Amino acid sequence: MPDTSQKLPIRRLTLYKHGVGFVERGGPLEGEAVALVFRSDEVNDALKSLLAVDRSGGQVLGIHYETPADRAARLAESGIVLGADHTLLDLLRALRGWRVRLTVGEGTASGDYTGRLLGVEVVDDKPVSRARVALLEAAGNRIVNLPLGRLAAVELLDERTAGDLRFFLDTSMNEESHRTVHIRLSPGAHDLRVSYLIPSPTWRVSYRLIAESTPGGAGAGAAGGELLLQGWGLFDNRLEEDLDGVTVALVAGQPISFIYDLATSRIPDRPVVEDQARIAAGPVEFAAMAPRQAKRARGGAGDDSAGGMVRSALMSAPMSMAAPAAEPLGMNDYAGSVSAGAAGTDQGELFQYNVTTPVTVKRGESALVPILSTRIPYQRQLLYNGAKFPTHPVAALRFSNSSGLVLERGPVTVLEDGDYRGEAMVSFTKPAGEIYLAFAVELGIKISEATAGRTELTALNIEGAYFNIQYAYYTTTTYTLESSLAESRVVTVEARLDPDAPLVDTPAPVEQNAEFYRWTVTCPAHETAGLVVTSRRLGWRQEGVLNQNYDQLRTYLQSRLLDEATLARLKALLDEQQGSADNNAESGRLQGERDGLFARQEQIRKNMTALGSNGDEGALRKKLFGQLSASEDRLAAIDARQTALIADSAARQARIAAALKDLRA
């Protein structure tokens, strides 16, 4: 087996936000191999990415690794399988038929015996001490029977059995949770550099902000001052070795990465082809299928994962609150206790923090390392956004990221003028980007919002049979600020920007971006102030011309959306439509009368059938006959009127269609 005693120390560790680490090892070594041990979940990434370079001019001859498989399945491939008990007994049973040399210790049968092993006879109650080994000696045909309990040595004389035994032992000692990768090298001295990817917990970041306000103090409503922003990168040593003087880099961003199973060997299923009586059946061939492409995913650059336990970096951190100092520490005290942090490298879609001081972290521990320490001017503001925090404004520090580094998302603790003020979250921010840190709630100012809406008709055009009507929907929000503070404060009110609903009749905002408007409102001490914001959204709806009524038309005229001439044409159309509707109503009434007359006639005919033609019955019969004749005359009149109504309605509809065809306004 290759020499695994030689170790390549870790020289550099680069950690990414999406759960991988790039390990770089290097150093001088002698020999023809070096071993790297990985956890089982690291093997695929390591095999996918492993690079080895010999800087002394030697060659890398190959990379070998143990094929992952179920241990029982691998052991089943061995010609020799030994149990946990009675190992020697199991070995001799497995060697039946093979050539061996047995050495018997003290006793009458002591000495060496060479031949082919016949088998082992076992007594159940004492399987080892009373067992006998039968051997066919190599010279001649003599069979010897030797006591198993007195065997001092067993020598395997066939290389195959020796190889089976070595394979069994190597497989038995293999750890299922780890895999060893051997890098084979040319003979001689080497200056080897090896790098590879492994899964790694995402690194995190936390900040400390130490602010000093302008003269007057924050409590007196100071406008701002200067702050010291410190950033600490937190990472975990998941490797199975200590990191000693290792260069660490922390990368913001998210390269595309995925897991591909390279370590597992696979034997594809194949059809079994059997011989037939007279004709040999041939295999059926299928077209090869293209391998499935791995899905690539882009993700955000920030990460919300929280920190774990920390060790060495906190020992020198300036944020210790163990005991109060005799006098407040200033910003210079904090700045002087921490090194410059990290050098930043912009890599396009990525940003890398190169920690300037080598890091030492024991196996299984975590560390905070300084990556940022910079002074920045700031402003103190009160900011209100009811969607984020209702009723009260929040106190915020506003500044620009002038550090020259990308700021990863992470928590920040705010100290101002020596006192703890609150906590906030730093968003992912590029260099020169603006930062708003809301760290406390100002309970001395209460803000309420009242929203009202109204709708106005703003435009109308006519196309054929339809009105296209434009409406303006106005939304007005009134902000009322009530102060119980002893001094005047300026509050910045923030409202969401809707590009489809511009502002109208509203003071111009002092700031505006793609998402929000901002206004400043001065709130005097113990008084009330206000802000009214109105936006207008335009919308269209379509209505049928013939679905209008006279009152609506008069409304459009009063709104100057229609002129007198168009109104007259529309009224003429509505008159035609009303006339047609009146015809239909009259026709419906006539049809009801018609149906009644038919029913009455049927009843008269039945009555006449039952009456005679003489006397009183004859007189009654004559009267009924007169009624029947009168109903016939009425039915004829109804038919004539309905025919006229239908013709009139058809003429009206024709005139309406012709007018609608040319109607425009």
* Torsion of Cα atoms, 576 then 577 then 578 then 580, to 10°: 90
DSSP-derived 3-state class of residue 161: helix
The 10s digit of each residue's pLDDT in 51-98 is 999 998 888 888 887 765 555 656 666 677 776 666 778 888 888 888
Structure tokens belonging to residue 315: 């020992």
Q: What is the pLDDT of residue 310?
A: 29
pLDDT at residue 234 greater than cutoff 80 = yes
HEC-encoded secondary structure of 421-443: EEEEEECCECCCCEEEEEEEECC
Which class is 72-173 in CATH? Answer: mainly beta
Pairwise CA distance, residues 376 & 231, whole Å: 13
Pairwise CA distance, residues 582 & 648, whole Å: 11
pLDDT class of 549 with cuts at 50, 70, 90: confident
Decide if 537 contacts 498 (C-beta within 8 A).
yes
pLDDT class of 346 with cuts at 50, 70, 90: low
pLDDT at residue 180 greater than cutoff 90 = no
pLDDT class of 336 with cuts at 50, 70, 90: low
pLDDT at residue 10 greater than cutoff 70 = yes
Structure tokens belonging to residue 581: 């509707």
Amino acid of residue 31: G
In angstroms, what CA-CA distances link 11 with 23, 35, 48, 109, 357? 8, 17, 21, 62, 13
pLDDT at residue 7 greater than cutoff 90 = no
pLDDT at residue 301 greater than cutoff 80 = no
Of 114-123, 289-298, 459-468, 618-627, give the lowest mean pLDDT range.
Answer: 289-298
The 10s digit of each residue's pLDDT in 574-597 is 898 899 999 999 999 999 999 999
Radius of gyration of the chain (CA): 49
**CB-hemisphere CA count at 13 Å for 499?**
3
Instruction: Pinpoint the alpha helices (H) of 42-139.
Output: 43-49, 71-76, 87-94
The 10s digit of each residue's pLDDT in 141-170 is 888 888 877 888 888 888 888 888 787 777
pLDDT at residue 176 greater than cutoff 50 = yes
In angstroms, what CA-CA distances link 147 with 95, 112, 119, 129, 402? 17, 13, 12, 8, 87
**CB-hemisphere CA count at 13 Å for 400?**
5
- 550-558 and 564-610 helices, crossing angle to 10°: 180
pLDDT at residue 453 greater than cutoff 80 = yes
Mean pLDDT for the stretch of residues 532-558 = 89
Mean pLDDT for the stretch of residues 457-486 = 92
Pairwise CA distance, residues 311 & 315, whole Å: 7
pLDDT at residue 3 greater than cutoff 70 = no
The 10s digit of each residue's pLDDT in 600-634 is 888 888 888 888 788 888 888 888 888 888 989 99
Q: What is the pLDDT of residue 286?
A: 28
Domain ranges of the chain: 10-66+175-199, 72-173, 204-258+303-441, 445-545, 555-661
- The distance from CA 527 to its chain's CA centroid, rounded to whole angstroms, is 47
Decide if 525 contacts 486 (C-beta within 8 A).
yes
Mean pLDDT for the stretch of residues 357-371 = 89
Q: Which helix (H) or strand (E) holds 642?
A: helix 615-661
The CATH number, out of the four listed (2.60.40, 1.10.1060, 1.20.120, 1.10.287), of the domain defined by the range 555-661: 1.10.287
Pairwise CA distance, residues 39 & 178, whole Å: 4
pLDDT at residue 41 greater than cutoff 90 = no
HEC-encoded secondary structure of 266-308: CCCCCCCCCCCCCCCCCCCCCCCCCCCCCCCCCCCCCCCCCCC
- Residues 6+ positions from 498 with CB-CB distance below 8 Å: 535, 537
Angle at 85 between CA 84 and CA 88, to 5 degrees: 105
* Torsion of Cα atoms, 304 then 309 then 312 then 316, to 10°: 70
In angstroms, what CA-CA distances link 533 with 169, 386, 477, 501? 82, 14, 5, 12
Q: Residue 543 carries which DSSP code?
A: E
Mean pLDDT for the stretch of residues 228-244 = 90
Q: What is the pLDDT of residue 95?
A: 85
Q: What is the pLDDT of residue 665?
A: 63
**DSSP per-residue string spanning 174-197:** --TTEEEEEEEE-SSEEEEEEEEE
Question: If you count DSSP H runs as helices and E runs as strands, how many of each does the chain have, helices first?
Answer: 9, 29
Mean pLDDT for the stretch of residues 46-54 = 90
In angstroms, what CA-CA distances link 505 with 55, 453, 528, 533? 74, 14, 21, 8
pLDDT at residue 209 greater than cutoff 90 = yes
Amino acid of residue 461: N
**DSSP per-residue string spanning 355-396:** ESS-EEE-TT-EEEEEEEEEEEEEEEEEEE-TTTS-SS-EEE
Angle at 503 between CA 499 and CA 504, to 5 degrees: 145
Mean pLDDT for the stretch of residues 533-549 = 91
pLDDT class of 349 with cuts at 50, 70, 90: low
pLDDT class of 285 with cuts at 50, 70, 90: very low
Of 318-332, 364-378, 425-439, give the lowest mean pLDDT range.
Answer: 318-332
Q: Residue 154 forms beta bridges with which residues?
A: 102
Q: What is the pLDDT of residue 40?
A: 81
Distance from the first to the final alpha carbon of the chain: 95
Quick one: what percent of the chain has pLDDT higher than 90?
31
pTM for the predicted model, two decimal places: 0.60
pLDDT at residue 279 greater than cutoff 70 = no
Mean pLDDT for the stretch of residues 442-450 = 95
Instruction: Pinpoint the alpha helices (H) of 2-117.
Output: 43-49, 71-76, 87-94
Decide if 176 contacts 72 (C-beta within 8 A).
no
Mean pLDDT for the stretch of residues 328-357 = 70
pLDDT class of 444 with cuts at 50, 70, 90: very high
Instruction: Pinpoint the alpha helices (H) of 77-158.
Output: 87-94
Q: Residue 212 carries which DSSP code?
A: E
Of 193-207, 304-318, 610-624, give the lowest mean pLDDT range.
Answer: 304-318
Pairwise CA distance, residues 303 & 307, whole Å: 11
DSSP-derived 3-state class of residue 468: strand
Q: 245 in the Ramachandran plot: left (φ > 0), alpha (ψ -120 to 50) or beta?
A: left
pLDDT class of 338 with cuts at 50, 70, 90: low
In angstroms, what CA-CA distances link 63 with 75, 363, 511? 24, 26, 61
Mean pLDDT for the stretch of residues 107-113 = 79
Pairwise CA distance, residues 97 & 87, whole Å: 18
pLDDT at residue 299 greater than cutoff 70 = no
In angstroms, what CA-CA distances link 198 with 24, 33, 160, 422? 11, 22, 38, 38
Q: 27 in the Ramachandran plot: left (φ > 0), alpha (ψ -120 to 50) or beta?
A: left
Decide if 99 contacts 160 (C-beta within 8 A).
no
Parallel, antiparallel, or unpaired for β 243-252 and 10-16? parallel
